């Protein structure tokens, strides 16, 4: 667990998913857009898996021509991250079950789209390991929002990038 810029991670994932987003005419946004970086304490590799699955789901199961928004809300000690789509939503009776391994909803486009149904089970597991949880809110025909909170990172990102020699000199 180390400081990482989760806003930058979201932007990187947007560019990795550029092709499938173009195919479905989906547009990506981070909000609020005046932020320059959002620093949290997290395992960067694991957080990449979390954000990739949530954003990819939003593209795959959201509407064609839809919008995917990654929103950040910074509190005193925590940052809330949410991934929102304006797609068909998830029917109420499935909301708890989508976090089970291999669970996929028949009626959503899932059957024609590739996937194993493991993504959200992994997301839940990783966030548990970060002492936090995933929440989901969905309204039929309005869309779905997945959200979670992470601890804010206070260490200056600049000190993280000091060359090794500078660190050695500072700590003889
Ligand atoms: P994998 O992530 O392993 O490639 P998957 O995407 O089917 O496969 P999950 O990410 O666990 O698996 O998602 C489980 C199911 O939840 C999906 O198959 C889909 O039916 C539904 N789902 C997930 N995200 C959304 C969303 N944003 N909107 C509507 N349905 C969703
Ligand atoms: Mg998935």
pLDDT in tens, 4-18: 999 999 999 999 999
Q: What is the mean pLDDT of residues 101-130?
A: 87
- Residues touching ligand 1 (Cβ under 6 Å) are 53, 57-58, 61-62, 85, 87, 90, 98, 103-105, 108, 110, 115-121, 144
The atom number, within ligand 1, closest to the CA of 117 reads: 12
Q: Which residue's CA is the closest to the ligand 1 atom numbered 12?
A: 117
| Interval 52-95: pLDDT, tens | 999 999 999 999 999 999 999 999 999 999 999 999 999 999 99
Mutate to test the pocket of ligand 1, among 110, 134, 143 (most ligand atoms within 8 A of CB): 110
Cα 57 to averaged position of ligand 1 atoms, centre (Å): 5
* Cα 113 to Cα 94: distance, rounded to the nearest angstrom: 18
pLDDT given at position 113: 77
- Residue whose CA is closest, atom 5 of ligand 1? 117
Residue 41: strand, helix, or coil: strand
20-58 pLDDT tens trace: 999 999 999 999 988 889 999 999 999 999 999 999 999
Among 169, 151, 161, 156, residue whose Cα is nearest residue 47: 151
Q: How far is the CA of 116 from the centre of ligand 1 (A)?
A: 9
Q: Cβ atoms within 10 A of the Cβ of 97, count?
A: 12
The H-or-E segment that residue 130 falls in is none
Other CB atoms within a 10 A radius of the CB of residue 8 amount to 14
If phi over 0 gives left and psi between -120 and 50 gives alpha, with beta otherwise, what is residue 167?
Answer: alpha
pTM over 0.80? The answer is yes
ipTM over 0.95: yes
Rounded distance between C-alpha atoms, residue 157 and residue 155, angstroms? 6
Residues 170, 108: Cα–Cα separation, whole Å: 57
> In angstroms, how far is CA 141 from the centroid of its own chain?
21
Q: Residue 60 C-alpha to ligand 2 middle, in angstroms?
A: 8
Residues 82/70, Cβ–Cβ less than 8 Å: yes
User: Which protein residues have their CB within 5 A of the ion that is ligand 2?
Assistant: 53, 57, 119
Q: What stretches of 40-134 show up as alpha helix (H) in DSSP?
A: 44-61, 119-129
Which ligand is in closest contact with the Cα of 110?
1
């Amino acid at each position: 667990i180390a400081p990482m810029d989760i806003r930058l991670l979201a932007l990187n994932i947007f560019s990795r998913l550029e092709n499938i987003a173009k195919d479905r005419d989906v547009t990506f946004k981070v909000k609020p857009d005046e932020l320059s970086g959002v620093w949290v304490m997290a395992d960067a590799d694991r957080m990449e898996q979390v954000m990739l699955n949530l954003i990819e789901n939003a593209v795959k199961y959201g509407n064609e021509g839809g919008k995917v928004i990654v929103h950040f809300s910074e509190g005193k000690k925590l940052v809330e991250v949410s991934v929102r789509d304006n797609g068909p939503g998830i029917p109420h009776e499935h909301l708890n079950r989508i976090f089970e391994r291999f669970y996929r909803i028949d009626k959503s486009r899932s059957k024609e789209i590739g996937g194993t149904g493991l993504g959200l089970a992994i997301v839940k597991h990783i966030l548990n390991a970060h002492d936090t949880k995933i929440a989901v809110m969905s309204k039929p025909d309005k869309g779905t929002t997945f959200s979670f909170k992470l601890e804010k990172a206070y260490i200056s990102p600049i000190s993280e990038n000091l060359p090794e020699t500078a660190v050695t000199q500072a700590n003889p």
